[in-house]
């Protein structure tokens, strides 16, 4: 039976960074002495794995040495419990100057009334990358856009919008029952933006819109907005005043539907206090001051 349209928001990823006062061999010995579930990949990488009932290994956390620096980062979920949480605490306990450096907030919705992967991200001044099914391991039956990045990977703020169902199929994961469409918007925050996560998410969500430029009344404006959207005309080809005019139209949602963005903002408002407590509780448990 098909599920109803649902929206959820949660913490998807937390990153803790710090140093180890150990050489590579001593670090390996120390981690292996404390755990059988941290797999040594290389001198620069370890993976915490979970063994599923079918014998498949699932990657639940990673420890990575930062290139060109003597520091490390631990990427994990705040939803780990029991022995897995103890595994995370044991590694953080080995770190010197461990601190909170990254937070990913994930908005997920299923069986929406909107066309799959039809929304776009309108952030002026931010780089944007589109990946179609033939470009990525995330594959689908049709060669359509399945992942969009807005912002650089190492920037303080980045958005990733993708077809979650296509990703699950590519990884041979069991698909949720009654779900015919599943999309996700991940907002990645680094540095000072982790402390401002609510306002940062609000600003990012305001940029997430469904283009309907065919509905613009003025035919010249309609033609130009469609040309910009389809990359027939690039922004840098426009005169400064003309570019400012069309940016204003986009910000004012002329020919754009922001109804899903409003629903995501409502869900954020509903759950922001619970999420804030989750973050604080997790950092307290692993011994990190926010």
- Phi/psi for 89 (5° steps) reads -60, -35
Segment 24-47 shows an average pLDDT of 88
Query: What does the pLDDT look like over 49-76, one tens digit per residue?
Result: 887 766 677 888 999 998 877 899 999 9
pLDDT number for residue 141: 46
pLDDT number for residue 1: 84
Half-sphere exposure of 95 (CA within 13 A, CB side): 24
Query: What does the pLDDT look like over 88-103, one tens digit per residue?
Result: 999 999 999 999 999 9
Q: Is the pLDDT of residue 135 over 70?
A: no
| Rounded percentage of the chain residues whose pLDDT exceeds 70 | 94
Query: What does the pLDDT look like over 234-288, one tens digit per residue?
Result: 999 999 999 999 999 999 999 999 999 999 999 999 999 999 999 999 999 999 8
pLDDT number for residue 131: 79
Q: For the chain, what's the residue count?
A: 290
Share the mean pLDDT of the chain: 90
CA-to-CA dists, residue 267 to 8, 78, 93, 108, angstroms? 7, 20, 35, 11
**Radius of gyration over every alpha carbon of the chain, rounded to an integer in angstroms:** 21
Q: What is the pTM of this model?
A: 0.88
pLDDT number for residue 140: 44
The answer to whether the CB of 201 falls within 8 A of the CB of 265 is no
């Amino acid at each position: 039976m098909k599920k109803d349209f649902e929206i959820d928001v949660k913490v998807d990823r937390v990153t803790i960074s710090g140093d180890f006062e150990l050489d590579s061999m001593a670090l390996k010995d120390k981690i292996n002495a404390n755990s059988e579930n941290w797999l040594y990949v290389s001198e620069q990488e370890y993976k915490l794995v979970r063994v599923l009932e079918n014998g498949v290994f699932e990657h639940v956390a990673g420890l990575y040495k930062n290139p060109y620096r003597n520091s490390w980062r631990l990427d994990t979920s705040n939803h780990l419990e029991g022995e897995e949480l103890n595994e995370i605490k044991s590694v953080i306990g080995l770190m010197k100057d461990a601190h909170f450096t990254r937070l990913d907030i994930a908005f997920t919705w299923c069986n929406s009334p909107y066309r799959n992967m039809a929304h776009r991200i309108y952030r002026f001044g931010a780089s944007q990358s589109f990946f179609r099914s033939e470009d990525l391991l995330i594959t689908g039956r049709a060669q359509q856009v399945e992942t969009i990045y807005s912002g650089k990977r190492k920037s303080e703020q980045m958005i990733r919008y993708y077809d979650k169902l296509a990703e699950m199929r590519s990884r041979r994961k069991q698909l949720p029952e009654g779900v015919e469409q599943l999309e996700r918007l991940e907002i990645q925050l680094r540095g000072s933006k982790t402390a401002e996560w609510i306002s940062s998410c609000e600003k990012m969500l305001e940029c997430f819109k469904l283009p309907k430029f065919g509905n613009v009344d003025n035919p010249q404006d309609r033609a130009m907005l469609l040309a910009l959207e389809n990359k027939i005309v690039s922004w840098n080809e426009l005169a400064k005043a003309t570019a400012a005019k069309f940016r204003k139209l986009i910000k004012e949602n002329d020919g754009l539907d922001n109804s899903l963005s409003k629903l995501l903002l409502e869900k954020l408002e509903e759950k922001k206090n619970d999420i804030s407590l989750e973050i604080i509780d997790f950092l307290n448990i692993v011994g990190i001051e926010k």
